[in-house]
Chain A
Amino acid sequence: MRTSRVCLLFFVVLMAACKKSGPAPADSAPSGGTAAPAAGDSAGAIRIGATLPLTGAESRIGGFYKEGYDLAFAEAAQNGGIEVGGKKMKVELTLLDDTSTQATAASLADRLINSDKVSFLLGTYATNLVEAQSVVAEQNGIPYVNGGGAATAIYKRGYKWVFGLLAPVELLAESIMKWVDTQQQAGKLPKPATIALLWENTSHGKDFRKGVTDFATKTKNYTVVVDESFELSGKDFSALLGKVKAANADLFLADAHLPDYITMQRQYVTAGLCHKIQSYGARGSEKQAAEALGKKNVEYVLSAVWWSSQLAGKNPEAKKFVELFKSKNGGRSPEWYQALGYETARALFTAISQAGSTDREAVRAKLASLKIPSLLPGGELSFPAEFGQQVHAPFVVQQNLPDGSAPVIAPPEVALGQGIAPNPGCAK
């Protein structure tokens, strides 16, 4: 009886621990990089609110998004503001730390709208946070533009105030499969080919699975022989990889976040596995993974991401952004996180300019019909109504090479290399 009580108490406290994932209080101060004006003191300025996970589990990426937001606001300030109805208006960002937790992201969005009286919202990062926060924006009828939520579930709810710049993960899977298909058509891979498919048990993973299985069904040239899910932050994938080994598939496709990619790939290599094609979805080209696993153990891994600085050679908007970012950050190259943060803010600024007013409904309508040149792959930004106002830009597919580089190999119009298949490492 006493043991049961201790267990119950333990779980209550531990659940609280699991929810609390960062040091900042829920109601944290605005970040240092951007000014937070007091309500009503900004005559002639447009007040935009945002939260990002600046502490907690997603703090690293939250920091990258902040760099993107800061760059866009600094650029606007340098231009004397954005043009609205023939006159320049300043834009001011009130940025709060949502501590990587859903509840905080939602409550801070409410605060930004109802206490800080911001006119528009920029979104946070990570699907689960955007999912929670977008509900608040929709309820309050405020334009909400985010570059951090990719799951289609966010955009299938019929919301009219929510706009997303991250293309769906289904497209990510499809982008990889399209490149694989070109290799199959070229006779470099067996036809039909078998796929071992592992996906994390999240909306991200489910979308990835759907992208792969839909493509396999559509083309009829692929058979999924292993179709298994796993929990985030797994500790032991050996049993799962044993199943993959037994299936002897041609392609190994997984969808994982960085820690799971590192853990799984370590066990994959240890188990002596090698597939003609190997991918971990959006993960693969990270420097940290190469350091953790050894460069040799991540060779020929395919990945597909929303943006790459390599696009600068082919896309003028991307070139402009990369040059601007490098000039402000001591020559450091941006990753897709900063690019999406920057483009998210730029999309909102452009819609406000085109609307010619700060009226929420007018800006929402402009966002819905927006079509502008963009740094995204494909070179154009729009929020198609048929996809719930979620961008459907293509992904860039990269492949890790033995020299440590990861050139873009697809789509062909932005590719810097052709890619190699099947994995030459398997023959050794």
Chain B
Amino acid sequence: MERFLELVIASVLLAGLYATMAYGLGLIYGVLRIVNLNHGGMIMAGAYAGWYLHSEFGIDPYLALLPVGTVAFLVGMGMYRLLVHRLPRGAAGGVQSLLLLFGVWLVMRNIAYLLFTGNDQTVHTTYATRAITLAGAQVSVNRLAVFGVALATLGILHILLTKTYFGKALRAVAQNPESCTLQGIRVDRIYALTFGLGTALASVAGLLGATLFPFNPSFGAAELLKSFVVVVLGGLGSVAGTAIAALILAAVEVFPTAIPGFPTYLTAALGFVLLVLVLVLRPGGLFGQRVLG
């Protein structure tokens, strides 16, 4: 029973990390219908920003969330105005957006190599190895904090999408941008704000990741893959679905380790098996192709 509880806690905490990584990708796809390949680049940039602020100015990574998120939001808005804005809308822009944002990611990664070399960096805080006892299991304070941020982000996104004018406009644009234009909604502005928001969420995920793992300029690639699996499982465009899918993926990766004789290194592949199954059997995702519900 104790082992089962440990696995449940491990799954929930891992889900928090996966959900944080995936929100931004899901949001941008839900509204703009483009897969932001530079999501990985912004995760990496967020990690370096947190590390820099901590090592140079002693700013705690959790206090750095707001400034880093704000700057990333502005960067995302700028990136939209400068680059993404020029892409054809809809399916016609699919390939171009992939290539463009992949290029941006490569440029960002190489800039990071030039600035910081390929050395692994870590953020060492006083609470990095601190733990509390929860249901008989030792739980990392850092992991709990990441889970808290994931829950808070989910709550904020829910309120933003359902209770504010921006959220309603955003959902309307996601459903039918042409009609929104007729209703006087500034569609392009909504796109820019959404891209900024998604970019900010990616950088926040990177910053949180930096408190848990060593990272280098290649950081973000594996995280992007995981994010993609989560977003597709949850249904592209569904924020709540993203959170639930993160929990499913984490459970699929964690619980098999309890099976005697199961090769543990295969757990990472289970998520991709799940992805293939969902794409074949339920292409809209486990929770349907909802529009940011």
- Write the residues of chain A forming the contact surface with B, with a CB cutoff of 8 angstroms: 1-7, 9-10, 13-14, 16-18, 20-23, 55-60, 100, 201, 228-231, 233-236, 238-240, 242-243, 246, 258-259, 262-263, 266-267, 269-272, 288, 291-294, 297
Contact = CB atoms under 8 A, between A and B. Distances in A.
A233 B222 contact: yes
Interface stretch (B111-119, B150-158, B187-195): B111-119
Contacts of B228: 7, 10, 14
Contacts of B130: 270
A23 B113 contact: yes
A13 B221 contact: no
A1 B284 CA distance: 9
Given A236-B14, A242-B10, A243-B257, A13 B265 contact: no
Contact of A235 (B118, B212, B284): B212
B290 interface: no
Can you list the 9 inter-chain pairs with the closest CB atoms, starting with the nearest? Answer: A292-B122, A59-B118, A23-B110, A201-B265, A239-B257, A259-B214, A270-B140, A269-B129, A238-B10
Interface of B: 3, 6-7, 10, 13-14, 17, 35, 37, 40, 91, 94-95, 98-99, 102, 105-106, 109-110, 113-114, 117-120, 122, 124, 128-131, 138-140, 142-143, 212-214, 216, 218, 221-222, 224-225, 228, 232, 236, 253-255, 257-258, 263-265, 267-268, 275, 279, 283-285, 289
22 contacts: A13-B37, A13-B98, A14-B225, A14-B228, A17-B106, A23-B110, A201-B265, A231-B268, A235-B17, A236-B253, A239-B7, A239-B10, A239-B253, A240-B257, A246-B3, A266-B140, A270-B129, A270-B140, A292-B124, A293-B128, A294-B124, A294-B128
Contacts, number: 160
Nearest to B216: A57
A266 B211 CA distance: 11
Contacts of B213: 235, 259, 262-263
B263 A229 contact: yes
B284 to A, nearest CB: 7
B91 to A, nearest CB: 7
A90 B193 CA distance: 63
Contacts of B117: 59-60
A39 to B, nearest CB: 31
Contacts of A238: 6, 10, 13-14, 254
A262 B122 contact: yes
Given A17-B106, A60-B117, 16 more contacts: A9-B95, A10-B35, A13-B98, A14-B37, A14-B225, A22-B113, A23-B114, A56-B118, A231-B265, A233-B222, A238-B254, A239-B10, A258-B120, A266-B140, A266-B212, A271-B138
A57 B14 contact: no
Contacts of B118: 22, 55-60, 100
Contacts of A229: 263-265
